[in-house]
Structure 1
Amino acid sequence: MPDRAQPPRAREPAAAPLVALGYAVLGLSWILLSDGLVEALFTDPDHRRWVQTSKGTAFVLVTAVALWAVVRGLLRRLDGARQRLAARQAEWRTIFTEHPAPLFVVAPDTGEVLESNRAATQLYGRSIEHLVGRRFGDFEAIVDTPDPEPSATGEGPLRRYSGLHRHVGGEGRTRWVDLHAVAVSHQGQPAVLVHVLDLTAEREVHEALSFARSHDPLTGLP
């Protein structure tokens, strides 16, 4: 299944350096000010040492609790984001699988079919297991004359998987299909999502009308 659009690379939040700097300033200020206060209030070395130890212990405990609270909140947000992502992926999987038009996820360089949906099995007369792993170009029909309407658009791999083509469908029947391709990612790798529109019926009607206009209805001669 495609991973929808490939997300941009995550950037370091602008607040992260400020949080680190603020923590450093707060910690150093606490150490310097509290040390000066202890020096001014306590003259007995043993008492002063005990206060310094208690002060350091309290600082560690307070910062540990604060860090625990921050990390706990971040982990909760991360878990929530993962759950939302899983739900969206499930929705996307359903949309891809149940879409009424044949859909393929294709490796852009090799043309290998990575994913296909149920509608593709109906059009091409093969199970998903037999579609996945094939080269998308294997569906092209071998014809004596080139397609009269080369309508591929886009650049590179997108152009290869776009435009009007003749494919071999179920029962070996040649079908006219209009392909539309968009770049997606599949398991973190670049891929192409190909939408297949079956135009066979429209082409047959068009050819029948063209024949009727150019041939005698009684004799069938031009």
Structure 2
Amino acid sequence: MAINSNSGLGGRMESFKGRPAGLFARAEVRVTAAYLFFGALWILLSDRVLYLAVSDPARQALLQTYKGWAYVAASAALFYLLLRAEMNMREATEERLRELNRTLEERVAARTAQLEETNKELEAFSCSVSHDLRAPLRAIEGFSRIIEEDYGPRLDDEGRRLTGLVRGNTLKMGRLIEDLLSFSKLARKELSMGTADMQALARAAWEETAPPGWAGTFELGELPPVRGDGALLRQVWLNLFSNAVKFTSRTPAPLVRVGAARRGGMVEYSVSDNGAGFEPARADKLFGIFQRLHSDAEFPGNGVGLSLVKRIAARHGGQVRCAGRPGGGAEFFFALPEAERDGAEF
């Protein structure tokens, strides 16, 4: 970070030391005013003294010449002193600004180091928690499966239902831990940047996501390429398509539409559907981790997919947004910086 200064002659001296930032805040105005003041004072006083002290016109003319040379010399000295004072003031101001820059940069570096250390600790904690939780979950799921397989005939309907609930919830918790681990790893994953063919990535992601025999309509528009990490951008498409498929599962004629538009140096991609939709007032919650607007009974999930989309877009210098209405479908957007339009990119 840098703080620029344009103080001094030919520029505006800011009120750095508490001076008013008005007309006399300009160095050239102060120098000119001082020059005119002392020049007028010199002419008035010197002429009065000369005519009072000398009555001979010839001597007055000679002394006027000497007085003119003295005026030029005095003006030059005064002008030098005024300029030197302005230069010293400017140099002092710039040195103070440089010191402020150094202090600010040191504080930013220290705060950045603290944030990096905190992030590392949080990542290590989430990895440790995820790893430590998976072992007991595997044990619970394994023992409940043994109970079902070996003791199933001895259980009544309620016992089998409760055992199934235990297994189902352990599996759900396992998926949640895996998603949490993925979310944590994303923060420290280095981006492998290159030209990403978004058309091919979206098509492949849809083929991977669409359920067998899906009876809906999928419309894929023209998608400009961008510069980014292809693997992560593929994950964005997978998450958005999975979301669309899930929330159109109860729609008689599901429709998923994909498009893109260039907007001010960005390419904004969109995935829209005609599914369950959501309340617009709650849209800001959709991209938060573990935030869900529907219950598991309506649509299963854990609230991580869209937060991954947001984080991946942010790591590419992009943004996300969404729009929708209950029963009227939803549309999700993610904008990424447009790739350079040259032969290497297009």
Give TM class, smaller chain. Answer: 0.3 to 0.5
Higher relative contact order (CA 8 A, sep 6+): 1
Structure number having the greater strand percentage? 1
TM-score by length of 2: 0.33
Structure number having the greater helix percentage? 2
Larger radius of gyration: 2
TM-score by length of 1: 0.47
